[in-house]
C-alpha cells in the first residue's frame, strides 16, 4: 500500500469533469484506489463517491493505492492533481 497527500490546485475543485477523469484514470489500474478527505474515505473508482467528498480549491486529499500496480496508479493520479486536471 502506498499513499500521498495532494492539494487541489484547480479553482473549481473536483466537480463532474475532474471526477470523471479521476474515475477513468483509476479504472485503468487493477490496484484498489481510495481518496480520503476530512476522515471520509471513498472508492476512487466511484464517480458518486468522489463527488460526495465536496473537494474544493486548496483541499488536501490523501490518495491511497493498494495492489500490484499501486506505484504507477499513485503517480498517475497525483499527476492529474498536479496538472489541475488540465483545466487551467
Among 4, 9, 15, 84, which one carries the catalytic annotation? 15
Section 29-42 average pLDDT: 97
Q: Which whole number is the average pLDDT over 45-49?
A: 97
> What is the reported pLDDT for 87?
78
What CATH number was assigned to the domain covering residues 2-86? 3.30.1340.10
**3-class DSSP state for residue 28?**
coil
Percent of the chain with pLDDT over 90: 97
What is the per-residue pLDDT for 53? 94
Domain boundary assignment for the chain: 2-86
Is residue 15 annotated as a catalytic residue, yes or no? yes
Residue 29 sits at φ, ψ, to 5 deg, of: -115, 150
Cα separation, 76 vs 70, in Å, equals: 10
What's the rounded mean pLDDT across residues 35-43?
Answer: 97
Q: What is the pTM of this model?
A: 0.93
Dist CA 49 CA 65 (whole Å): 16
d(CA 67, CA 20): 22
Confidence of residue 60 (pLDDT cuts 50, 70, 90): very high
Amino acid at each position: 500500500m502506498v499513499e500521498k497527500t495532494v492539494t487541489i490546485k484547480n479553482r473549481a475543485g473536483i466537480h463532474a469533469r475532474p471526477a470523471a477523469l479521476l474515475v477513468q484514470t483509476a479504472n485503468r489500474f487493477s490496484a484498489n484506489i481510495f481518496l480520503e478527505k476530512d476522515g471520509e474515505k471513498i472508492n476512487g473508482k466511484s464517480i458518486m463517491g468522489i463527488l460526495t467528498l465536496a473537494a474544493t480549491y486548496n483541499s488536501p486529499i490523501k490518495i491511497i493505492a493498494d495492489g500490484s500496480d499501486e506505484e504507477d496508479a499513485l503517480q498517475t493520479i497525483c499527476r492529474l492533481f498536479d496538472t489541475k486536471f488540465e483545466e487551467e
